[in-house]
Amino acid sequence: MSEFQIITFYEFKPLANLPELRSQLRDTMLSNFIKGTIILAGEGFNSTVCGRPENIVQFVAAAEEILETKLDLKSSFYETMPFRRVDVKIKPEIVTLKKRVDLKNGAGTHVNAADWNKVIGQDDVIVLDTRNDYEYKNGSFRNAINPQTRKFSDLPRFVAENLDPKTHKKVAMFCTGGIRCEKFAPYMKQLGFEEVYQLEGGILKYLEITRPEDSLWEGECFVFDDRITVNENLEKGAGPDHSQTDGHGSNEN
């Protein structure tokens, strides 16, 4: 097994006393030799961090106590530490859409990774990549639409200009770890789209459980750390960092 464990987790839940939470989480990262980023907002938390497996266990237990929850983790391994800093940020949103969204509208839209191929294989389903253009360039699902966005908050404009609830009855969407779709699926429902599907756990969960011979994923998946991309086995990929060459910057997960 590789030496370092990388975990991602998020949850939409009301949070208060954000400065206190930031201080507690930062101290927990430092005491367990964890590096990476945690984003806090009144709507919840979003994080990708890394450490040695034994330290990750201790960190997760402490973070669950601080955040009063059970973390839903996605995990991969790498031989070196892919993060350089300990960063706990307070922001207005844990993923920036800049639209008012009632998350309750997302009920019933989740599709688990085992059923995803069946959903996107339907001829009348529009497959929407909710990630940015520099992420799409490293890989995407077969026949997925690239909105060519520079940042997540550009996506509503793409939908307004290119998709119509009266014409596009079924829309299936995906992102890296699931968090962007947790906001965008209910947003699409608010706009009047009848059937909206989101890939639960995102690309990372799909790659984790799907055999390569059954996969409809093509290419590699951009990740927001020094690995740049991961391949179908969730190992460091060989893809270039288009976020730098295109001048976008890796700022949204």
Q: What is the CATH number of the domain that holds 64?
A: 3.30.70.100
Regarding whether 57 and 134 lie in a shared domain, the answer is: no
In a domain, residue 97? The reply is no
Whole-number Å distance between alpha carbons of 180 and 3: 29
Strand (E) or helix (H) holding 189: helix 179-190
221 catalytic residue (yes or no): no
| d(C-alpha 76, C-alpha 237), whole Å | 13
Last residue of a domain, one of 90, 125, 154: 90
96 within domain boundaries: no
- 196 and 162 housed in the same domain: yes
Same domain, 36 and 143: no
Cβ density class 138-162: b for 16+ within 10 Å, e for less: bbbbeebbebebeebeebbebbeee
Q: Which of 90, 120, 138 is the last residue of a domain?
A: 90
The rounded distance, in Å, linking the Cα atoms of 212 and 208 is 10
Cα–Cα–Cα angle for 104, 18, 34, rounded to 5 degrees: 100
Instruction: Give pLDDT, residue 246.
Output: 58
Same domain, 130 and 65: no
The helix/strand/coil state of 248 is coil
Q: State the amino acid at position 57 in one-letter form.
A: V
Question: What pLDDT was estimated at residue 1?
Answer: 52
* 237 is a domain residue: yes
Pair (122, 192) in one structural domain: yes
Residue 157's domain is classified under what CATH number? 3.40.250.10
| Residue 169, domain extent | 103-245
Q: What is the pLDDT of residues 199-231, one digit of tens each?
A: 999 999 999 999 999 999 999 999 999 999 999
Q: Which helix (H) or strand (E) holds 43?
A: none
Q: Could you tell me the pTM of the whole model?
A: 0.91
Tell me how far apart the alpha carbons of residues 124 and 120 are, in angstroms, rounded to a whole number. 9
pLDDT digits (tens), the chain, 253 positions = 569 999 999 999 999 999 999 999 999 999 999 999 999 999 999 999 999 999 999 999 999 999 999 999 999 999 999 999 999 999 999 999 999 999 999 999 999 999 999 999 999 999 999 999 999 999 999 999 999 999 999 999 999 999 999 999 999 999 999 999 999 999 999 999 999 999 999 999 999 999 999 999 999 999 999 999 999 999 999 999 999 865 544 444 4
Q: Among 50, 175, 181, 221, which one carries the catalytic annotation?
A: 175
Both structure tokens of 48: 């990708």
Together in a domain, 86 and 123: no
Does 149 lie in the same domain as 122? yes
In a domain, 250, yes or no: no
Number of domains observed in the structure of the chain: 2
What region, left, alpha or beta, does residue 80 occupy, with left being phi > 0 and alpha being psi -120 to 50 degrees? beta
Looking at 38, 65, 90, which one is the last position of a domain?
90
Cα 246 from Cα 75, distance rounded (Å): 28
Which two structure tokens, joined as six digits, stand for 58? 């201790």
